[in-house]
Each structure stands twice: as structure tokens, then as C-alpha cells.
């Protein structure tokens, strides 16, 4: 699948007034369903599954999971069957319906059962035909795909910003920065409470952490939690830039960037690259909050 992810300067009076230059890496434009970092994290997992002659991808996620949808579409695209274990009670929603349309077999499991994903996988019959992909695509192979983001950059930046759920994307970017011998500082915004563990997760992938800055105060109550000021920010940002973001990942990270710029965290003249990690179908579960 061919990558299209341009670097786009965001011209905004606020950035101009603060004398910083903000750019977006438009990973949201890679694919409508295998979107953003989801493609990057799946790419080498798919290659490994093909090399091992596996017929079925087995993965995990919540009821509004962008990763489940991306895996379902990738399976249909590259001729894999797909099974998705869904955390929680059986429900129907637009994201899960699209997963089924792409041919994914959904299996709803209790939150308690979901805690042991390897056990769920081991219970499958004929599992020698199946390929395990962890929640969110987290794996060493996923970091290889995310590392390529840095190789693609046409310019150098003082700072790179990205949201984090598992830390896999950040681990890949950190490795890319190191491999290219860049002085770029990587700013990581955990989107869930007590996100300090993200640094440990990055280290597990043997990625360097010396150029990483974690900003832990922008989770707005936890994963997929929002507050009125976040919703207001997302609405204003989208309306003033024409760039769609959502409140679970990109909205929180962009809010953090805006807040840090407001506080003069960055020296004047700084060149800042924000990684738009896609996942815009997540908006479907939050739209009522924008009314």
C-alpha cells in the first residue's frame, strides 16, 4: 500500500503571535480505514503473518476501536481472515458494523476475560493458522513501521509531538530520531491517567528515551474521557484550520501543544511537527458531545 502523508504547515494567527512554526505530518491521509499510525503498526505484522503462512489475524480492542477497524480492512485488503475480541458486553455501533462488513468475526468477552489476551488466543481452535496482534497493534514489528515516519521527513524539526496509548508509535519515532542522529525532542502525550508507564513501555522496545518528554496532565480524566474545555477546543480548532481532529487522541495532544505554546514553553522560532495519527472514526462514538 502506497504511503501518502505530507508535511503541512498550519498558518494560524496564534502561532504567528507566539513566533513558532507548527507543521502537521498528515498520517490521517494514508487510508480512510487503515488510518495513520494504525497502518504503520500493522505493516510489518502483516508481512510477518504472510511469511509464516498464517491465514487469520486475531486482535483485540474496545467497542469503538480504530485498531479493530484497521485490522478488519487490512485483512480484507491482503486476503486474511480476521477475528476481533471486543472488550465488554455485546453491542452494535457504526465501527463494529464496518468491521463486520470487512469480514471480521467479532467475539465479545467480559472485561475480566479481556485482561488475559494470550489466554483468549490460546483457547482458539486451529490456532496454528492464526497470527496474534496485540491491542492497538503494539509489538516490536509495529515500532519498525513507526520508525519509517522519521525517514520520510523532508525537513528537520526542533520538536515532534504525538499522542500515546500504548507507547508503540512513540517508541518507533524515538528510534527513528536516534538512527538519523537528530537533535529533535519528542513530546509524548499519554491519553490515559497515570501515563508515566509509557516511558517504561518505550524502553521495553529498546528505544532510546533520552530525548523524550512526557506530558502527563492532558488526559482529561482518562482514556476516551473528555471535558467541556476539550470539546470546545476541538470544535474551535477544526473550524479555524479545516483539519479534523478527534477528542480521544489527536484532540488531547493538540490541546497540549496549544497550551504549551501559550505558556511560552518553546523558544521563539521553534519548528514543531505534530503527528496526526488519524483514527477519525473514533469521532462516531463522541459526536453527541459536540451538539
> Binning pLDDT at 50, 70 and 90, where does residue 40 land?
very high
Q: How many domains, the chain?
A: 2
Q: Are residues 150 and 209 in the same domain?
A: yes
DSSP three-state, residue 162? strand
Buried/exposed code over 199-232 (b: 16+ C-beta within 10 A; e: otherwise): bebbeebebebebbebbeebbbeebbebeeebbe
Q: Are residues 116 and 175 in the same domain?
A: no
Q: Quick one: pLDDT at residue 288?
A: 83
CA separation for the pair 291, 289 (Å, rounded): 6
Residue 60 lies in a domain: yes
Q: What is the pLDDT of residues 176-228, one digit of tens each?
A: 999 999 999 999 999 999 999 999 999 999 999 999 999 999 999 999 899 99
Q: Are residues 219 and 169 in the same domain?
A: yes
98 — phi, psi (to 5°)?
-70, -40
Q: Are residues 70 and 167 in the same domain?
A: no
Q: Are residues 125 and 173 in the same domain?
A: no
Q: What are the residues facing 56 on neighbouring strands?
A: 81, 130
Q: Quick one: pLDDT at residue 127?
A: 85
Residue 1 lies in a domain: no
Torsion of the alpha carbons at 71, 72, 74 and 76, rounded to the nearest 10: 160
Residue 168 lies in a domain: yes
Burial of 140 (0-12, 13-18, 19+ CB in 10 A): middle
Instruction: Flag whether pLDDT at 28 surpasses 90.
Output: yes
| pTM of the model as a whole | 0.95
Find out whether 4 and 32 touch, Cβ atoms under 8 Å. no
Q: Quick one: pLDDT at residue 35?
A: 85
Q: Are residues 169 and 148 in the same domain?
A: yes
Last residue of a domain, one of 81, 116, 137: 137
Q: Are residues 162 and 270 in the same domain?
A: yes
Last residue of a domain, one of 137, 170, 195: 137
Cell of 196: 508515566
Last residue of a domain, one of 110, 137, 164: 137
Q: Are residues 109 and 191 in the same domain?
A: no
Domain of 106, in residue numbers: 37-137
Q: Are residues 131 and 145 in the same domain?
A: no
Q: Are residues 104 and 45 in the same domain?
A: yes
Find out whether 252 and 222 touch, Cβ atoms under 8 Å. no
Residue 255 lies in a domain: yes
Helices 168-179 and 37-51, interaxial angle, to 10°?
90
Residue 56 lies in a domain: yes
> Binning pLDDT at 50, 70 and 90, where does residue 2 land?
confident
CATH of the domain at 220: 3.40.50.1100
Question: How would you list the strands of the sheet with 212-214, edge to edge?
Answer: 7-9, 21-26, 271-276, 159-164, 185-190, 212-214
Residue 83 lies in a domain: yes
Residue 62 lies in a domain: yes
Find out whether 35 and 276 touch, Cβ atoms under 8 Å. no
Q: Are residues 108 and 239 in the same domain?
A: no
Q: Are residues 194 and 277 in the same domain?
A: yes
Residue 182 lies in a domain: yes
Q: Quick one: pLDDT at residue 3?
A: 83
Amino acid at each position: 500500500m502506497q504511503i501518502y502523508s505530507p508535511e503541512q504547515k498550519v498558518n494560524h494567527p496564534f502561532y504567528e503571535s507566539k513566533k513558532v512554526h507548527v507543521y502537521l505530518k498528515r498520517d490521517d491521509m494514508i487510508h480512510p480505514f487503515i488510518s495513520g499510525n494504525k497502518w504503520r503498526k500493522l505493516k510489518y505484522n502483516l508481512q510477518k503473518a504472510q511469511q509464516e503462512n498464517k491465514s487469520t489475524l486475531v486482535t483485540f480492542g474496545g467497542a469503538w476501536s480504530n485498531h479493530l477497524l484497521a485490522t478488519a480492512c487490512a485483512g480484507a485488503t491482503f486476503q486474511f481472515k480476521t477475528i476481533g475480541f471486543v472488550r465488554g458486553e455485546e453491542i452494535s455501533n457504526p465501527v463494529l458494523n464496518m468491521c463486520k462488513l470487512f469480514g471480521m468475526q467479532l467475539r465479545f468477552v467480559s472485561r475480566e476475560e479481556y485482561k488475559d489476551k494470550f489466554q483468549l488466543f490460546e483457547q482458539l481452535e486451529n490456532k496454528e493458522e492464526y497470527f496474534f496482534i496485540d491491542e492497538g497493534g503494539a509489538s516490536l514489528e509495529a515500532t519498525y513501521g513507526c520508525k519509517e515516519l522519521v525517514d520520510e521527513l523532508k525537513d528537520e524539526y526542533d520538536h515532534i509531538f504525538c499522542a500515546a496509548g500504548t507507547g508503540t508509535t512513540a517508541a518507533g519515532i524515538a528510534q527513528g530520531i536516534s538512527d538519523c542522529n537528530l537533535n529533535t525532542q519528542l513530546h509524548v502525550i499519554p491519553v490515559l491517567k497515570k501515563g508515566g508507564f509509557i516511558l517504561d513501555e518505550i524502553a521495553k522496545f529498546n528505544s532510546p528515551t533520552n530525548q523524550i518528554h512526557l506530558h502527563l496532565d492532558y488526559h482529561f480524566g482518562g482514556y476516551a474521557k473528555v471535558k467541556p474545555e476539550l470539546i470546545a477546543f476541538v470544535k474551535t480548532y477544526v473550524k479555524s484550520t479545516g483539519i479534523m481532529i478527534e477528542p480521544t487522541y489527536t484532540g488531547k495532544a493538540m490541546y497540549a501543544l496549544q497550551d504549551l505554546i501559550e505558556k511560552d514553553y518553546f523558544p521563539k522560532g521553534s519548528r514543531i511537527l505534530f503527528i496526526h495519527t488519524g483514527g477519525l472514526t473514533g469521532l462516531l462514538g463522541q459526536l453527541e458531545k459536540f451538539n
